Amino acid sequence: MSQYKGKSVLVTGAQQGIGRSMVINFAKEGANVAVNWHNDEQKALSVAKEAEAFGVKVELVKGDVSVVEEARNIVAQVEKKFGKIDVLINNAGMFPRVPLLDMEESDWDFVLNINLKGTFFCMQAAAKSMQRKNISGVIINLASQAISGNSPSGTHYCASKAGIVGLTRAAALELAP
């Protein structure tokens, strides 16, 4: 039997790519999965349909992780549907390529808000939920090899992913049992 059977997993940015793959793989392992999406309902519905084929509960959760109230509502909706969150995977992220010398404040803010602030907001809300329910859960924050600075026209992305590494290390110390 899988270690995830009956567990509740929330994946942010789950409508495509890595997030989609994680949802499908957790569903294959018997986990109930929450598919967070923001701007493509058809892709989210497709992921949900594929996950449901494994006989698990699936919840579609629309929300912008970069907005604190929406991030909290995402977690609350999953908690209400499944009763708990055992695993949070912070996958939502953006990488619009913009050369450093052409980058505007709005370009910088867009990426940092989704990638770093969104990760923090969802992590905080899920950790509070886990603590309130006395669940020794798992929070996975996706970073990138880009933290080594090897992404041309991606200064903002590199900074956001390096920030996630620092955030995760500090949070692990604070939240560890």
Looking at the domain assignment, is residue 1 inside a domain?
no
pLDDT digits (tens, 9 = 90+) for 33-75: 999 999 999 999 999 999 999 999 999 999 999 999 999 999 9
Ranges assigned E (strand) in 32-91: 32-37, 58-62, 87-90
Strand partners, 61: 36
pLDDT digits (tens, 9 = 90+) for 121-177: 999 999 999 999 999 999 999 999 887 877 889 999 999 999 999 999 999 999 998
* Model pLDDT, residue 2: 87
Give long-range contacts, CB 8 A cutoff, 24+ apart: 15-19.
15/40, 15/43, 15/44, 15/47, 16/40, 16/43, 16/47, 18/91, 18/142, 19/89, 19/91, 19/92
Looking at the domain assignment, is residue 3 inside a domain?
no
Looking at the domain assignment, is residue 52 inside a domain?
yes
Looking at the domain assignment, is residue 102 inside a domain?
yes
* Model pLDDT, residue 73: 99
Give the chain's domain count.
1
Q: Is 157 a catalytic residue?
A: yes
Catalytic site residue from 157, 158, 160, 161 = 157
Looking at the domain assignment, is residue 133 inside a domain?
yes
Structure tokens at 100: 């450093």
Looking at the domain assignment, is residue 81 inside a domain?
yes
Dihedral sign for Cα 15, 83, 75, 166, please: negative
Lowest mean pLDDT among 16-25, 79-88, 138-147: 138-147
* Model pLDDT, residue 150: 79
Return d(Cα 109, Cα 156) in angstroms, integer. Answer: 8
* Res. 1 pLDDT band, cuts 50 70 90: low
* Model pLDDT, residue 146: 82
* Model pLDDT, residue 88: 99
Phi first, then psi: give them for residue 152, nearest 5 degrees.
-55, 140
* Model pLDDT, residue 128: 98
* Model pLDDT, residue 177: 81
Return d(Cα 30, Cα 45) in angstroms, integer. Answer: 19
Looking at the domain assignment, is residue 115 inside a domain?
yes
Looking at the domain assignment, is residue 2 inside a domain?
no
* Model pLDDT, residue 151: 81
Which domain CATH number covers 145? 3.40.50.720
Q: State mean pLDDT over 16-27.
A: 98
